[in-house]
């Protein structure tokens, strides 16, 4: 339950650190807003507080057109309460119910579809399908606000099969019509510009340095204000550039792709790479409890991601027991030799390309070349190749490689690389009674916190 007094103080302060932690619904207007909404604050007796935008919609409120609640950073109160629910939400956001059925989703989660519906009703007050439709509508709303795509293209990019279905669902879910949000007629574009918000603190300097020192020429680009790269997602080829706008707590992201059908999961993956959805205040509170008071704690450190688990695994194998610069040179040679050309850029090599190559151009031991091919072949032949526990069955891949790939390729939050040489050097500042288990479930953030001390 939300504490009304705390919510009142937070909304009146308009502090961006509370953005997305709860939403304010106004009874007299039927509208719900973010805590940072610029409108004159309503009287307290006319206000109701909800933990998530979905709860506001379920109660019959429509989103504010000024503060755009769909843009708020995500951290609902129930997030993390149930691991199965958390994974179900992630899979639905990636499009599981657009590509398959509810029983198929439940099977992936190892539960019955009846139990899955119970979880959603308990924590969200709606069914999994209703949640999926609402998320599709919120994403469509973002595209209508921030791009000039025609409504038919918006419907496709949001996962709807027809414009009629899109219009009906949009109106029933958001109490608005798509045309009511559209200020321009739109035109066919290959490039989209979106704003992705986060909740401070955000140490962009640390993340930028981490990404820049590992950036591969022609695959990635990174300067003091932005990071970008090419990608190949289920056959959808494109690239993005994310420009950091510190004073507005957001990134302006320009995305170019050849198939709008995959736009939503691509945006979700960009959010993961930049780690925009974590409640970092809660994370840092736990981390500071397991470190000494004199530890030079650096606030705002997030998890810099890698586009895919496969790419993270290849980078980890090539980075075993060598410097960051040497590893970057090896990855660069791999991309140059086996990566497909995309204009004046290159894509990361596909599993098939690596599996079928002798990799003679890399000056590394033959055993390590075979490890690269083993992992690539694993991705070619397995239905669920991202299950990293099966990686350990491959010769040449050990726990460090698996953990690193999961931490950066999947952004798993609870991985501690205690065997890493850099971590061992930094542990001297952590105190004699240091116990990494105290930082669980945020040990990945602890790993990067210690790396920041080097």
Asked which of 50-54, 123-127, 231-235, 407-411 is least confident by mean pLDDT, the reply is 123-127
Average pLDDT on 371-388 reads 93
Provide the token pair at 412.
């798993």
Rounded percentage of the chain residues whose pLDDT exceeds 90: 52
Does residue 234 sit in the same domain as residue 261? yes
Q: Give the CATH number for residue 331.
A: 1.10.340.30
Q: What are phi and psi of 317, to 5 degrees?
A: -65, -45
CB contact at 8 A, 160 and 169: yes
Helix (H, G, I), strand (E, B) or coil at 174: helix
Provide the token pair at 293.
């008071």
- The verdict on residue 149 lying in a domain is yes
Assign 3-state DSSP to the chain and report helix, strand, coil percentages, each to 5.
Answer: 50, 10, 40
Residue 292 has pLDDT above 90, yes or no: no
Residue 53's pLDDT band (cuts 50, 70, 90): confident
Name which of 379, 433, 454, 452 is nearest 206 in CA terms. 452
Helix (H, G, I), strand (E, B) or coil at 236: strand
Does residue 163 sit in the same domain as residue 240? no
Residue finishing a domain among 12, 46, 71: 71
Q: Residue 43: which residues within 8 A CB-CB, separation 6 or more?
A: none
Residue 15's pLDDT band (cuts 50, 70, 90): confident
Does residue 347 sit in the same domain as residue 430? yes
**CA distance linking residue 36 with residue 41, whole number of Å:** 10
- The verdict on residue 399 lying in a domain is yes
Does residue 337 sit in the same domain as residue 240? no
**CA distance linking residue 377 with residue 373, whole number of Å:** 6
User: What angle in degrees, to the nearest 10, is found between the helix axes of 113-123 and 102-109?
Assistant: 90
Does residue 91 sit in the same domain as residue 202? no
**CA distance linking residue 171 with residue 159, whole number of Å:** 16
Does residue 103 sit in the same domain as residue 141? yes
Average pLDDT on 165-182 reads 85
CB contact at 8 A, 380 and 354: no
Residue finishing a domain among 227, 250, 274: 274
Does residue 199 sit in the same domain as residue 176? no
Does residue 239 sit in the same domain as residue 143? no
- The verdict on residue 300 lying in a domain is no
Does residue 339 sit in the same domain as residue 409? yes
Does residue 409 sit in the same domain as residue 443? yes
- The verdict on residue 280 lying in a domain is no
- The verdict on residue 29 lying in a domain is yes
Does residue 439 sit in the same domain as residue 314? yes
* pLDDT for residue 230: 97
Does residue 92 sit in the same domain as residue 15? no
Write down the H helix ranges in 38-95. 53-58, 83-93
Find the farthest-apart pair of alpha carbons in the chain and give their distance in angstroms, rounded: 72
Q: What are phi and psi of 221, to 5 degrees?
A: -145, 140
Average pLDDT, rounded, for the chain: 89
**CA distance linking residue 272 with residue 255, whole number of Å:** 15
- The verdict on residue 294 lying in a domain is no
Scored b (16 or more CB within 10 A) or e, 133-158 reads bbbbbbbbbbbbbbbbbbbebbbbbb
Range of the domain at 433: 309-451
CB contact at 8 A, 289 and 438: yes
Evaluate the omega torsion of the peptide bond into residue 201 and state whether it is cis, within 30 degrees of 0.
yes
Average pLDDT on 211-216 reads 97
pTM: 0.77
Provide the token pair at 215.
């950036």
Residue 76 has pLDDT above 80, yes or no: no
428 class by beta-carbon count within 10 Å (0-12 exposed, 13-18 middle, 19+ buried): exposed
* pLDDT for residue 383: 83
Provide the token pair at 395.
């010769």
Tell me, rounded to whole angstroms, the distance of Cα 82 from its chain centroid: 19
Provide the token pair at 8.
């009142």
Residue 13 has pLDDT above 50, yes or no: yes
For residue 49, list its beta bridge partners.
Answer: 24
Residue 17's pLDDT band (cuts 50, 70, 90): confident
177, containing H or E segment? none
* pLDDT for residue 414: 92
CB contact at 8 A, 316 and 284: no
* pLDDT for residue 77: 45
Q: Give the CATH number for residue 39.
A: 3.40.10.10
**CA distance linking residue 410 with residue 393, whole number of Å:** 20
Count of domains observed in the chain? 4
């Amino acid at each position: 339950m939300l504490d009304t007094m705390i919510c009142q103080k937070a909304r009146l302060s308009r502090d961006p650190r509370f953005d997305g932690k709860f939403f304010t619904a106004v009874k007299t207007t039927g509208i719900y807003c973010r805590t940072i909404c610029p409108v004159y604050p309503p009287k307290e007796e006319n206000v109701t507080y909800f933990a998530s935008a979905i709860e506001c919609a379920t109660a019959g409120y429509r989103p504010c057109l000024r503060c755009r609640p769909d843009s708020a950073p995500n951290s609902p109160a129930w997030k993390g309460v149930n691991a199965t629910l958390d994974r179900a939400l992630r899979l639905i956001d990636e499009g599981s119910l657009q590509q398959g059925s509810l029983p198929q989703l439940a099977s992936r989660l190892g539960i019955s579809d009846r139990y899955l519906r119970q979880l959603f009703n308990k924590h969200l007050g709606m069914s999994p399908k209703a949640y999926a439709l609402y998320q599709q509508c919120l994403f469509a709303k973002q595209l209508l606000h921030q791009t000039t795509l025609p409504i038919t293209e918006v419907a496709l990019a949001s996962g709807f099969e027809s414009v009629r279905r899109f219009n009906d669902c949009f109106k029933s879910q958001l109490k608005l019509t798509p045309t009511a949000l559209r200020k321009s007629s739109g035109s066919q574009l290959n490039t989209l510009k979106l704003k992705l918000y986060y909740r401070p603190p955000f140490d962009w300097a640390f993340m930028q340095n981490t990404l820049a020192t590992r950036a591969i020429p022609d695959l990635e680009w990174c300067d003091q204000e932005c990071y970008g790269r090419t990608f190949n997602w289920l056959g959808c080829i494109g690239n993005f550039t994310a420009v950091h706008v510190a004073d507005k707590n957001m990134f302006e992201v320009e995305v170019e792709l050849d198939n709008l059908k995959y736009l939503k999961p691509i945006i979700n993956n960009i959010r993961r790479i930049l780690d925009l959805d974590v409640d970092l205040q809660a994370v840092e509170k736990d981390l500071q409890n397991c470190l000494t008071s004199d530890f030079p704690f650096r606030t705002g450190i997030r998890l810099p991601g890698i586009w895919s688990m496969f790419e993270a695994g290849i980078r980890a194998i090539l980075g075993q027991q060598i410097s960051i610069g040497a590893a970057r040179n090896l990855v660069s040679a791999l991309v140059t030799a086996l990566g497909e050309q995309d204009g004046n850029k290159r894509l990361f090599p596909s599993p098939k390309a690596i599996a079928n190559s002798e990799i003679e151009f890399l000056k590394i031991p033959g055993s390590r070349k075979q490890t690269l091919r083993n992992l690539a072949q694993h991705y070619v032949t397995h239905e669920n190749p991202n299950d990293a526990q099966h990686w350990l069955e491959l010769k040449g891949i050990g726990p460090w490689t698996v953990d690193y790939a999961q931490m950066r390729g999947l952004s798993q939050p609870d991985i501690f690389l205690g065997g890493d040489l850099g971590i061992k050097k930094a542990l001297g500042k952590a105190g004699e009674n240091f116990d990494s288990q105290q930082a669980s479930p945020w040990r990945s953030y602890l790993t990067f916190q210690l790396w920041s001390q080097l």
